[in-house]
Amino acid sequence: MVEKITGESSFTNDPSRGNIVENLVSLPENIHPPCMLPDRMTADVLIESYFANTISLIAIFNRHEFEAEVASCYTNPLRADSRFLCLLNLTMAIGLILATPEPGTVEDAIVRSIRDQTHDQAEIFFRSAKCLANPLDNIEETDFWSVQALSLITVYMLAASRRNTAYSFHGMAVRSAIAIGLHRNEAMVKLPPDEIELRCNIWKSLYVLDRFIAAALGRPTAISDNDCTDAALKDSVMPPLIAPIETSGLASSSAASHGSSSTTAGGSDPVDNNFGFDTTVRSCRIIGLILRKMYARRRVSSRVTLDIAKQCRVWQREIGDSLRWKRAVQSAEAVAAGQPPLLSRAQSIAILHVNLMYCHGVILLTRPFYLFLVQIDRRNPAYRREFGRFFQDISKNGSIKVSNSVVNDQSTGTESVVTSVSRITGVSGLAKLNGLGNRFSPLMRARSEKFAENCIVASYQTIAMIHQARTEKYLTQRDPFIV
């Protein structure tokens, strides 16, 4: 496709174009993992970076138990379990590769001193973890620890731009999790409540990773909604197969998953890593439905799209106030006015992750209609003029608000209203152009235009959210989920 448009070049004639090329990292010959653990302060900084930058996306540990084990490890390192040391090194590897501390702080100085070294310390942490206890050595005797380790390796590979390797490790993690029954609540009925919650969190983490990797790489999902129970996902709000979200019990669920874990920027307690986690899972369930109903069948139905769009609007309406993007906007305005921020750094990152995942789903849902209009644009000069004016309107106004939009107004957290001209939202204008053939009805063209507008709006809002995160200096470095 590129060669047809631009002609031959070194890019189109690359001999490796048919191969999978990963970002490989080499270490100096004088470094032989496993290496010693860093000092306690450095370890605490990297662990905090891990939890802060993966908040609302994955929950592999019970944080309090993990930090207690870290304290025990540093108190008596000779008695530290090699399997826990593997998890600790993987955690620090992810924390280092994602770390973006506030400039001028002690944490920033520590991270800079590590990154100024001639070798990649994150890769050393990763290889040390594999030397201490490699989950692949006893893959035939899989257990709960191996699922944790494989899940962490998947996240590290995503952050290190080795997405194909991440896909492979994630597949092993999912199969290991299924083997020990994490996908079924029946396998956990006799376990203590804390362990049940941890196992459900790991399964939900694998679910989020599965939908994200499938959408990013264009590959089949490894987890089927039909094979796992809703109790395993611990989601009483969203029934099976993305049926309409019931309002009964929603307020209490939102308060439990959002309000109770929320803390102010000045609070002494760290933000619960489950903050926004269930909301992300619901977004990924919608993304999975899009992949299964549209992309797997390689056929787009406007009726199916409208049904999924209803789920997006319900998600948008029922999201907890603590996760709406307007909170991040208000916090930024408070800082600009010389006041303390309204949100902690971890809360801001969680809100960014949750809203970006939603926008990714909207783009995935509406992109086929946008590409359909682009294809018509290339075929018909008259349509090209009208479509060009449409993009000029967007560039001039910064955004377009559409009736029945599946994208929410991120500045206020409310649904968009009609402000666009009739030639864009109605059947008139673009939809009544002649010369396009009789294959597509005016109604279908009108629907395609509305979905295409939502695709562009979601793209603009994605850019705006990432730009604000960068301006406020909490945009995570090398975050694979920010695309």
Burial-class residue 386 by CB neighbours within 10 Å (0-12, 13-18, 19+): middle
Range scoring the smallest mean pLDDT among 303-307, 354-358, 375-379: 375-379
What's the pLDDT score for residue 377?
Answer: 66
Range scoring the smallest mean pLDDT among 127-141, 342-356, 362-376, 381-395: 381-395
Greatest CA separation for the chain = 79
Distance separating alpha carbons of residues 298 and 365, to the nearest angstrom: 13
Does residue 278 carry a pLDDT above 50? yes
Work out the pLDDT band at 439, boundaries 50, 70, 90. low
Distance separating alpha carbons of residues 188 and 451, to the nearest angstrom: 43
Distance separating alpha carbons of residues 473 and 483, to the nearest angstrom: 17
Written as six digits, the tokens of 332 are 């930024």
Range scoring the smallest mean pLDDT among 240-254, 272-286, 344-358, 466-480: 240-254
Nearest residue to 320 (alpha-carbon basis) of 364, 350, 359: 350
E strand or H helix at 414, and its extent?
strand 414-415
What's the pLDDT score for residue 434?
Answer: 36
Does residue 403 carry a pLDDT above 60? no
- Greater confidence (45 vs 435) lies with 45
Nearest residue to 95 (alpha-carbon basis) of 130, 131, 121: 121
What is the CB-side half-sphere exposure of residue 355 using CA atoms within 13 A? Answer: 34
Distance separating alpha carbons of residues 368 and 312, to the nearest angstrom: 17
Instruction: Say what percent of the chain tops pLDDT 70.
Output: 76
How much is the CA Rg of the chain, to the nearest whole Å? 24
Q: Is residue 95 classed as helix, strand or coil in its secondary structure? A: helix
What integer best gives the mean pLDDT of the chain? 80
Q: How many CB atoms are located within 10 Å of the residue 310 CB?
A: 15
What's the pLDDT score for residue 257?
Answer: 37
Work out the pLDDT band at 349, boundaries 50, 70, 90. very high
Under a CB-based contact definition with an 8 Å cutoff, are residues 463 and 323 in contact?
Answer: no
E strand or H helix at 408, and its extent?
strand 408-409
Nearest residue to 365 (alpha-carbon basis) of 430, 446, 442, 307: 307
E strand or H helix at 409, and its extent?
strand 408-409
Work out the pLDDT band at 374, boundaries 50, 70, 90. confident
